[in-house]
């Protein structure tokens, strides 16, 4: 058996492989071919340490990984995921071009569609391709004297890294970051996205005319790009996937978390609220208006977005459908319940299955570090240089 040179492990876990092959045949009604496929996979693993998914297994595995995403409230449409099998693509300029094509297919002028693009599986030497960015589209964050940060503070590390690699950020609040890609042959490379592939929505409010003056905006397509897709004992380290946004992701977390865009103080002031004490609930009131602006602006721009009330009901429908299909639905209450008005939504008032089945999307510590821009140099050096600007 060929084993991993580094840690002496085979590439695919035979038990997981077998479990997946059985699941695939059972759920897709191909029981006739199960025996033959099982022996082929067993043989391949015994001879090479790994095996290769058929295109159908790959597509099924990716859809089930979404179905199993315990933190995702939007799983009702898991079957509709468009799967782009790009396992043969390894050159980084081609990887970057495929990411651009992914965004075009997913965006469709605003009628957003869930898509995943899957690059080559890890082999005995580890990942072939890595995307360092946590999402294909993210805004840069620059250290700034006095204000702490211009742009998205979450991107401070990766912005610093991009600039070390030669990127020239314009220093704005909403500069789209370049992709930072890595392969074994080419090392780490920067690739700019084509601005035409990045749909953005400037934010305005249905009644408050001044809201547009805040200059807030957000991008249309959330495409997670640093998670590892695990199917049947194999690992795909580069497999960016997207859905459409739920308004609160932008309106509560991205724009109003104090360690993100922290928009509430200004919105509260502009609303003329008494901001002297939390007990006036000025933050709660301002938060509602930011979220109305997000939903209104996406609707006005013709860009798909869901709200937390609708999506909570859809999610419970999904849970019921899964149960009707004889499966239970893994879910993490603390992620499923929306970050505002939790108890107004039905998902708040119940408990969920805490098992975590595979196929799944997995975020390992290394990927998190890369997305924070702390993979190349010692952390202390990164932190110090990021602060210096």
Q: Which two tokens stand for residue 21?
A: 């092959």
Per-residue binder mask for ligand ARG (CB under 6 A), 74-103, x = binder: x-----------------------------
Per-residue binder mask for ligand ARG (CB under 6 A), 255-294, x = binder: ----------------------------------------
Q: Is there a catalytic annotation at residue 260?
A: no
Q: Is there a catalytic annotation at residue 380?
A: no
Q: How far is the CB of 134 from ligand ARG (least distance, A)?
A: 9
Query: Is the Cβ–Cβ distance between 193 and 219 less than 8 Å?
Result: no
Q: How many residues sit close enough to ligand ARG to count as binding (CB under 6 A)?
A: 10
One of 98, 122, 249, 307 touching ligand ARG (CB under 6 A): 249
Q: Are strands 148-151 and 141-144 parallel, antiparallel or unpaired?
A: antiparallel
Q: Are strands 82-85 and 115-118 parallel, antiparallel or unpaired?
A: parallel
CA distances, 165 to each of 156, 178, 181, 183 (Å): 14, 11, 11, 15
CA distances, 181 to each of 63, 134, 166, 248, 368 (Å): 25, 11, 14, 30, 15
What is the spatial distance between Cα 170 and Cα 17, in angstroms, rounded to a whole number?
47
Beta pairing partners, 116? 83, 241
What is the spatial distance between Cα 168 and Cα 164, in angstroms, rounded to a whole number?
9
Sign of torsion over alpha carbons 229, 234, 235, 239: negative
Name the segment binding ligand ARG (CB under 6 A); options: 26-34, 202-210, 238-246, 331-339: 238-246
Choice among 98, 134, 249, 289 that is catalytic? 249
Strands (E), 232-301: 234-236, 241-242, 245-246
Choice among 63, 75, 84, 86 that is catalytic? 75
DSSP H or E segment with residue 280 = none
Please report, to the nearest 10 degrees, the dihedral formed by the alpha carbons of residues 90, 91, 95, 100 taken in order: -150
Q: Does 181 contact ligand ARG by CB under 6 A?
A: no
Query: Is the Cβ–Cβ distance between 41 and 17 less than 8 Å?
Result: yes
One of 100, 143, 243, 338 touching ligand ARG (CB under 6 A): 243
Residue 252 per-residue DSSP state: I
Per-residue binder mask for ligand ARG (CB under 6 A), 107-136, x = binder: ------------------------------
Per-residue binder mask for ligand ARG (CB under 6 A), 189-228, x = binder: ---------------------------------x-x----
Q: Is there a catalytic annotation at residue 350?
A: no
One of 132, 245, 261, 315 touching ligand ARG (CB under 6 A): 245
Name the segment binding ligand ARG (CB under 6 A); options: 58-66, 89-97, 145-153, 247-255: 247-255
Residue number closest to ligand ARG, CB atom: 243
**Shorter beta-carbon distance to ligand ARG: residue 253 or 283:** 253
Q: Is there a catalytic annotation at residue 285?
A: no
Q: How far is the CB of 66 from ligand ARG (least distance, A)?
A: 10
What is the spatial distance between Cα 145 and Cα 389, in angstroms, rounded to a whole number?
9
Name the segment binding ligand ARG (CB under 6 A); options: 45-53, 56-64, 250-258, 338-346: 250-258
Per-residue binder mask for ligand ARG (CB under 6 A), 342-361, x = binder: --------------------
Q: Are strands 228-231 and 360-362 parallel, antiparallel or unpaired?
A: antiparallel
Return the active site residues: 72, 75, 244, 249
Applying CB under 6 A, the residues found at the interface with ligand ARG are: 74, 222, 224, 243, 245-246, 249-250, 253-254
């Amino acid at each position: 058996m060929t084993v991993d040179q580094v840690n002496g492990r085979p590439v695919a876990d035979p038990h997981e492989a077998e479990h997946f092959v059985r699941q695939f045949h059972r759920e897709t009604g191909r029981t006739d071919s199960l025996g033959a496929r099982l022996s082929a996979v067993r043989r391949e693993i015994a001879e090479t340490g790994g095996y290769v998914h058929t295109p159908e297994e790959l597509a099924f595995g990716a859809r089930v990984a979404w179905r199993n995403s315990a933190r995702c409230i939007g799983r009702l449409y898991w079957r509709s995921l468009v799967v782009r099998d790009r396992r043969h693509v390894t050159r980084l300029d081609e990887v970057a071009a495929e990411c651009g094509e992914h965004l075009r297919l997913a965006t469709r002028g605003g009628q957003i569609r869930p898509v995943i693009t899957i690059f080559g599986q890890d082999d005995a030497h580890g990942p072939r391709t890595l995307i360092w960015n946590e999402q294909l589209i993210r805004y840069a964050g620059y250290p700034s004297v006095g204000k702490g940060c211009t742009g998205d503070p979450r991107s401070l590390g990766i912005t610093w890294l991009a600039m070390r690699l030669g990127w020239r950020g314009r220093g704005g609040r909403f500069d789209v970051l370049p992709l930072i890609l890595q392969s074994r042959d080419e090392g780490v490379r920067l690739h700019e996205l084509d601005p035409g592939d990045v749909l953005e929505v400037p934010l305005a409010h249905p009644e408050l005319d001044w809201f547009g003056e805040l200059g807030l905006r957000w991008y249309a397509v959330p495409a997670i790009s640093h998670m590892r897709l695990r199917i049947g004992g194999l690992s795909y380290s580069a497999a960016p996937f997207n859905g459409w946004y739920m308004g609160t992701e932008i309106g509560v977390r991205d724009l109003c978390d104090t360690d993100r865009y922290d928009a509430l103080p200004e919105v509260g002031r502009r609303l003329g609220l008494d901001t002297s004490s939390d007990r006036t609930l000025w933050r709660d009131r301002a938060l509602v208006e930011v979220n109305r602006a997000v939903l209104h602006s996406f609707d006005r721009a013709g860009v798909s977005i869901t709200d937390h009330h609708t999506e909570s009901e859809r999610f419970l429908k999904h849970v019921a459908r899964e149960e009707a299909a004889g499966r239970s639905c893994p879910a993490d209450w603390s992620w499923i319940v929306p970050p505002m008005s939790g108890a107004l939504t039905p998902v708040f008032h119940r408990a969920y299955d805490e098992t975590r089945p595979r196929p799944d999307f997995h975020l390992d510590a290394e990927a998190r570090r890369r997305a924070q821009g702390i993979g190349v140099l010692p952390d202390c050096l990164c932190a110090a240089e990021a602060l210096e600007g």
